[in-house]
Chains A and B, each alone.
Chain A
Amino acid sequence: MAGVKAGAEIAAVPRHRALWLRSQAAVRDLWIGGVLLVLIVAFSIDSPYFLTRANWLNTSSTATEVLLLAVGETFVICSAGIDLSVGAVLGVSGTAGAWVMAHGFPNAAGAAIGPIAVGFLAALAVGTAFGLLNGFLVAWAGIPPFVVTLGTLGIATGFGYLLNNGQEISAIPPSVVTFGNANLGGWVPVPVLITAVITIWCGLLLAKTRFGAYTLSIGDSREAVVRAGINDRRYLLEIYTLSGLLAGVASILVMARLGAGSPTSGADDNLNAIAAVVIGGASLFGGRGTVIGSVIGTGIIAVLLTGLVLVNVPPFWQEVAVGAVLIAAVYIDQFRNRKATRR
């Protein structure tokens, strides 16, 4: 056995590629970015309505909500976890925020900054609370993330319905809707702007900070992290809390766009967010993923959803397409991975 691998050092000489291409993540981002570009070009050729302001405003506003969930989910998946509850938490957070505005300030009129602030804070608090619960159960109780978040998915859905007998709550100050549908210069919706700022910040958080480094290392090898003396539980708690908080932010944007807090508003976003992260190149086994990848993944899903409608494909085919793309993305990635690790 000794001596068999004596020549293996040769395999690891530096690759003569441009520095930024040396990272496998950069190659992956480039590759899925190319897929997004092809989709955009194809739909633009097929439909005169695709590259229009109306379609951009429509697509971007729904995509932001998925993106916020996907950004939080990126951290969770990079840590080798999964958060199935984000969509349900979005629903209960928005409903709770609307409930507070409707019941705490029934006659709020005009700008009503105070009531709106309290309502928004309530939505953020509920999202954060569910994130803390998920994180605590995963990190300290040691229950697998899939089970924990499947449980809190049910709990959040139930509480969302309980708040108003399953009905949405629309008795909120009108200026909330003004805020949610405002845009800058006709082209940049305020929700898109808010989401962009949060996404850039989270992208830097994952790629450039200690928190991000630990998120990836925990997902790669929790054993290595524990041996290095890092408090893995604290970081897991923060990761799931971030995911819950971002679901809370998304719930505010949904509520502001629709003018109501609805317990079912996040139901479709759940799987789309997870699919976006996975299409974006994050590994469900942890240790690998980028926020920019998730942005592109969200873009692919959003473009597919609206593009198929515009080229007159019956809407039910949308979900078929997203499912197929998800499976294809994971298959291609596994294939590339096997090739990369084979010696």
Chain B
Amino acid sequence: MSARLAVHDLTKHYGGVQALRGVTLQVDAGEVLGVVGDNGAGKSTLLKILSGAVFPSAGEILLDGQPARFANPAAAHAAGVAAVYQDLALAGQRDVVANFFLGREKLAGNWLARRVGWLDGKAMAAHTESELARLRTRIPDVRASSRDLSGGQRQALAIARAAAWTSKVLLLDEPTSALGVEQQHQVLDLIRRVSTEGMAVILISHQMPDVLKVCDRAVVLRLGQVVATLSGAELTSENLVGYITGAMGEGEQ
């Protein structure tokens, strides 16, 4: 069986700067893959390429074994790959329902309603409520403005939204940065639940405890290359930090 998402020999250079030098990795359905590395290791470039925001210079992306080429984020989205960035892209003064359905609003049933774009507000609110409850996010009021939510609730909303509208791969960029301990736990639990439902998740993070807690495997990027893939007993904080800083693995390359 082919992996849900695989990349082979992905290269990206901006002018003379090599951001990625042949990255190969894969993630299966139901798996959480951590991507760690120091600043400038190529994590964000990798994320941008996978989400369709940036074009690779060379290399191949395979989605369920089929070559995929994402011209833009909408194309990646349509193919079943969605990213949640650090800034979350929520409209702060709009309520939870409006944000959850942004771009995918549910219209009322009859012909006239469709013509004028009349929203089925009740159904949208009910669906938002049930989705958020199913993923056990702790958002008490779907009519609250998203800026009135706590940081953890906003992150949970962004992840739940992406998970609801994408089918295959979820890309997360530092989802727990700037969150309190309790909220970090909630977001990590949410990531776990989403993956249990069959989503392939790629988690980019600086927070080693997060990676250890939620990831099945982790790849370490250093200077645009994968220097280690760790899982099971090898997936420890010492090993991650060792490969990130270059204290380990230099000789083996």
Q: Do they bind each other?
A: yes
A interface, CB within 8 angstroms of B: 2-9, 11-15, 22-24, 205, 208-211, 213, 216-217, 220-221, 223-225, 227-230, 283, 287-288, 341
At the interface, yes or no: B179 with Cβ under 8 Å from chain A? yes
Task: Give the segment of B40-48, B148-156, B195-203, B237-245 that binds chain A.
Answer: B148-156
Set of chain A residues within 8 Å of B184, measured between Cβ atoms: 2
Set of chain A residues within 8 Å of B179, measured between Cβ atoms: 2, 5
Measured in the bound complex, the distance between the Cα atoms of B172 and A92 in whole Å is 53
The 3 closest A-B pairs by CB, nearest first: A228-B103, A210-B117, A220-B91
Which residue of A has the minimal Cβ distance to B179?
A5
Contact B117 A209 (CB under 8 A): yes
Measured in the bound complex, the distance between the Cα atoms of B118 and A82 in whole Å is 26
Contact B118 A208 (CB under 8 A): yes
Set of chain B residues within 8 Å of A4, measured between Cβ atoms: 180
Residue of A8, A209, A228 near B118 (CB, 8 A) is A209
Contact A210 B105 (CB under 8 A): yes
Which residue of A has the minimal Cβ distance to B165?
A228
Set of chain B residues within 8 Å of A288, measured between Cβ atoms: 93
Known A14-B140, A213-B119; judge A5-B103 contact (CB<8 A): no
When A and B form their complex, what is the total count of cross-chain residue pairs whose Cβ atoms lie within 8 Å? Answer: 109
Measured in the bound complex, the distance between the Cα atoms of B118 and A205 in whole Å is 8
At the interface, yes or no: B247 with Cβ under 8 Å from chain A? no
Q: 29 A–B contact pairs at CB < 8 A?
A: A2-B179, A2-B180, A2-B181, A3-B181, A4-B180, A8-B152, A8-B180, A8-B183, A9-B153, A9-B183, A12-B148, A12-B153, A15-B141, A209-B117, A209-B118, A210-B105, A210-B119, A213-B119, A220-B91, A221-B89, A221-B92, A223-B87, A224-B91, A225-B103, A227-B73, A228-B89, A229-B103, A230-B103, A283-B93
Contact B183 A6 (CB under 8 A): yes
Measured in the bound complex, the distance between the Cα atoms of B115 and A210 in whole Å is 11
Known A5-B151, A229-B73; judge A217-B138 contact (CB<8 A): no
Besides A9-B150, A9-B182, A216-B94, 12 more A-B contacts (Cβ < 8 Å) are A3-B180, A4-B180, A11-B150, A12-B140, A12-B148, A209-B117, A210-B117, A221-B90, A224-B91, A228-B89, A228-B102, A287-B91
Set of chain B residues within 8 Å of A341, measured between Cβ atoms: 147-148
Contact B91 A9 (CB under 8 A): no
Set of chain A residues within 8 Å of B145, measured between Cβ atoms: 24
At the interface, yes or no: B77 with Cβ under 8 Å from chain A? yes
Set of chain A residues within 8 Å of B183, measured between Cβ atoms: 5-6, 8-9
Set of chain B residues within 8 Å of A14, measured between Cβ atoms: 140-141
Contact B105 A12 (CB under 8 A): no
At the interface, yes or no: B61 with Cβ under 8 Å from chain A? no
Contact B105 A22 (CB under 8 A): no
Contact A8 B151 (CB under 8 A): yes
